[in-house]
Amino acid sequence: VGMLNTAKIPANVDVVVAPSQVHAATVKASLRADVRVSGQDVWKQGNGAFTGETSAEMLKDLGAEFTLVGHSERREKGETNEIVAKKAAYALEKGLGVIACIGETKETREANQTVAYITEQLNAYAAEIKDWTNVVIAYEPIWAIGTGLTASPDQAQEVHASIRAWLNEKVSPEAADKTRVIYGGSVGAKNAPELSQKEDIDGFLVGGASLKPDFLQIINAQNPTANVGGAVNVAINGFGRIGRLVLRAAATNPLINIVAINDPFISTTYMEYMLEYDTVHGKFAGSLSHDDKHIFVNGKPIRVFNEMNPANIKWG
């Protein structure tokens, strides 16, 4: 939340976050107004004796404006195309935007049946949805979710073009022109710029990378050289108790990125020891290691200098 609140978000980019339902109200209250909140799932009808489910009405009460439906992790639990489509239709009826997920397995991809598979999913949605104005289609190849694998930009574009063609034929030319079709599947800062240049890719459904500073680069994928805001790079001069306190505080703060430490009297070996067995602030709870030029805090490298005069350092 803090990272997004300080980020530079282009005027032509819509950012929607989908926290767990129990945290949705807190996230909504804490976020800047131009970042909207989505549910991760929704039930297929209204309030009632449906233990553990979240209705569209409940999501509206929490301040959500969207909901995901049909995510692969929900389909793995046995949700059929028909159930997913009913969820989408009810959420739309109650005024939520719907991010309708589709995607194929690795076996389907290898059998060259991707388009046929996702067309079946889309047809199920079309049987229930009458107005596509507030629908976003999210193509997430299941084989690329959380695996580090990703569809190549050309593979993703091919599927997105087929979705656009389906919209034109089965819904309307207007829906084909206006419905956003977004890609999800190990999207990161490195592949987002090239993916974003494809004609039929209108955005991204981001998983793990949304919890990292890389998310700001994904938001700015069409302008990768922009200053995206977010975390501030900080260097520490002096590794006494104040310097160590700053480093500890920054270790759990996504808005502060410690990039360097300078102390002319302390080696990386002793820095690690001082941080781990700190008699002032207590034993460090994370992981620590070092080499000749860095100390690694929770796996992150921090450059160490031993200059008497900090002016001699090219901080970067």
315 confidence band (pLDDT: 50, 70, 90): confident
- Give 256-293 pLDDT, tens digit per residue: 889 999 999 999 999 999 999 998 999 999 999 999 99
Catalytic site residue from 71, 79, 104, 160: 71
3: which 2 tokens? 């990272």
Q: Is residue 316 over pLDDT 70?
A: no
230 confidence band (pLDDT: 50, 70, 90): low
| 140: annotated active-site residue | yes
Q: What is the CA radius of gyration of the chain?
A: 24
CATH 2.60.120.10 assigned to 2-219: no
Q: Is residue 295 over pLDDT 80?
A: yes
- Give 17-26 pLDDT, tens digit per residue: 999 999 999 9
What residue type is 88 in one-letter code?
A: A
Report the topology of domain 232-312: Rossmann fold (3.40.50)
Lowest model confidence (mean pLDDT) among 88-102, 160-174, 230-244 = 230-244
For the four alpha carbons of 206, 207, 209 and 212, in that order, the dihedral sign comes to: positive
Strand partners, 204: 183
| 281: annotated active-site residue | no
In 3D, which of 194, 195, 170, 167 has the Cα closest to residue 180?
A: 167
Lowest model confidence (mean pLDDT) among 4-8, 52-56, 93-97, 102-106 = 4-8
For residue 206, what pLDDT is reported?
A: 96
Lowest model confidence (mean pLDDT) among 61-65, 176-180, 224-228 = 224-228
In the chain, what are the domain boundaries? 2-219, 232-312
For residue 227, what pLDDT is reported?
A: 66
DSSP symbol at 288: E
212 confidence band (pLDDT: 50, 70, 90): confident
- Give 186-200 pLDDT, tens digit per residue: 899 999 999 999 999
Surface-to-core class of residue 61, CB atoms within 10 Å of its CB (0-12 exposed, 13-18 middle, 19+ buried): exposed
For residue 42, what pLDDT is reported?
A: 98
Catalytic site residue from 79, 104, 140, 290: 140
- Give 234-259 pLDDT, tens digit per residue: 999 999 999 999 999 998 887 788 99
Instruction: Quote the CA–CA distance of 24 and 30 in Å, as a whole number.
Output: 10
Q: Helices in 72-185 by DSSP H: which ranges?
A: 72-75, 81-93, 106-110, 114-128, 153-166, 173-178
Asked whether the domain spanning 232-312 has the same topology as the one spanning 2-219, the reply is: no
- Give 123-157 pLDDT, tens digit per residue: 999 999 999 999 999 999 999 887 777 789 999 99
Q: Are 256 and 250 in contact (CB under 8 A)?
A: yes
Beta strands in the chain (DSSP E): 15-17, 35-39, 66-69, 97-102, 135-139, 180-183, 232-237, 256-262, 277-278, 282-283, 288-290, 294-297, 300-305
